[in-house]
Amino acid sequence: MSRFNLALRLLWRDSRSGELTILILALIIAVTSSTAIALFSDRLQRTMVNQAAEFLAADLVIDCSAPIAEDWLNKATQFGLLQAQTVDFPSVLIEHDEILLAAIKVVSNRYPLRGILKATTTEDYTSETTLHEGPVKGSVWVEKRILSALKLKIGDSLTIGEKPLTITHILTYEPDKKGNFYSFSPRVMINQTDLAATNSIQPGSHVHYFFQFSGEPQAILEFKQWLKPQLNPSQHLVDIHEDRPELGTALLRAERYLGLSSILVILISGVAIAMATRRYTERHFNATALLRCLGCQQQEILWLYSSQFVVLGALASALGCVLGWFAQEVLFQLLKDLLPQQLVSPSFGAVLFGFTIGVVVLLAFAMPPLLRLKQVSPLRVLRRDLEPLPASAWLVYSLSIGVIGLLILRYTTDIKMTATILGGG
């Protein structure tokens, strides 16, 4: 019989006798709380990021005054990113002897990559609908101000530059509307395929090109890293953290707050695990002395108990993950009035994170007391008063502070703040 099988049998026997109940409960509570918070913060954070991305209508945008190289678009395709383009420029509209300066927005297919458009086909807004694509070729969407200022109605023709287009919708919401000077001008939105026919863009025209990309966070990050060194001074790369600093900072703070609050739970759970393991090891001094007496070597003792703890940790963590999943669902239900209605689905990554935290915290907090078992003298079978030396304070503190420090660093990504929190604690 292998040593691992023996460890499993001893684990089964211990659990059957109730020896492990407190430890298992402490572990499940630790993993449940850390998984629930990981899932809760991950879902909330991704929901917030998604909502924030709607302000850009994409995950990443290149803002420039001239079209970018075709190679860059090909590279984005290689990274598996979806693409859309918009072109913004001001234009004077003349209809029924009325003149109006409008902000023209030319959109490609797939626009918007993030978020939605809202438009209506009736002037009293009763038929407002949510749309995921802009106007089709030959049509134009306008803000209601355009209709009243130029004495137009839905179905009429509106000439943009040299191209007459049919008004099909009144635009009521666009996700990436900028807060600049031209936002005071009413919006006109047309399809990219009509741009050339308008003949509006001439040398010297004040035009902004926005090349938008969306996709997996890792692909976006890699594309961004590839792109950055190639940008010239007139080309700006924008994402939610750079384009809207106030929103980016709020997100960062929310991430840190939720992360640090989960560390507090993990720390409390860790202390519970350490206490439960200490009790477990003290109750196993006699059994360990007997095993030593029967010929078990020190490393075998350590392996026997640590492998039991790894199996125990994996099982309790798996159960904790399931309970954590339900706990975060309950949490979202309780807070549904305060949180965004459209939440993203829980991610497997967050569950895996909760599971890993469970096993790592178990080993970090349980290992020092567990190491005492290795030191149990076989002579204890005759002299019960022989206690193994306590685990060294250096080991206990360095393991627990190390794990907590890594977690704080993971959430804050700030060495100075990590040192401050650890120093203050």
Partner 1 sequence: MQTQLKQTSNAIILTEDLGKAVVTSEGTLHILSSIDLIINSGESIAIIGESGSGKSTLISLLAGLDTPSSGSIKLKGKSLTEMNEDGRAALRNELIGFVFQSFQLLQGLTALENVMLPLELRGDKHAKAVATSLLNRVGLAQRLSHTPKQLSGGEQQRVALARAFATKPAILFADEPTGNLDSKTGETIINLLFELNRENQTTLILVTHDPILAARCQRTIRIDAGCIV
- Out of 90, 164, 248, 378, point to the residue binding partner 1 (CB under 8 A): 378
By beta-carbon proximity to partner 1, the closer residue of 229 and 295 is 295
Output the six-digit token pair for 20: 């492990």
Binding to partner 1 by residue 93, rule CB under 8 A? no
Q: Which stretch binds partner 1 (CB under 8 A): 15-23, 47-55, 227-235, 264-272?
A: 15-23
Nearer to partner 1, 16 or 416 (CB): 16
Nearer to partner 1, 14 or 255 (CB): 14
Q: Of 285-304, which residues contact partner 1 (CB under 8 A)? A: 286-287, 290-299
Q: Is 382 in the site for partner 1 (CB under 8 A)?
A: yes
Draw the binding track, 348-377, toward partner 1 (x: CB under 8 A; -: no contact).
Answer: -----------------------------x
Smallest separation, CB 276 to partner 1 (Å): 17
Minimum CB separation of residue 387 from partner 1 in Å reads 15
Judged by CB, which is closer to partner 1: 228, or 383?
383
389 near partner 1, rule: CB under 8 A: no
Q: Which of 6, 254, 319, 363 binds partner 1 (CB under 8 A)?
A: 6
Residue from 14, 42, 88, 174 binding partner 1 (CB under 8 A): 14
On the CB side of 96, CA atoms within 13 Å amount to 11
Q: Rule CB under 8 A: which residues touch partner 1? A: 1-2, 6, 9, 13-14, 16-17, 19, 286-287, 290-299, 377-379, 381-383
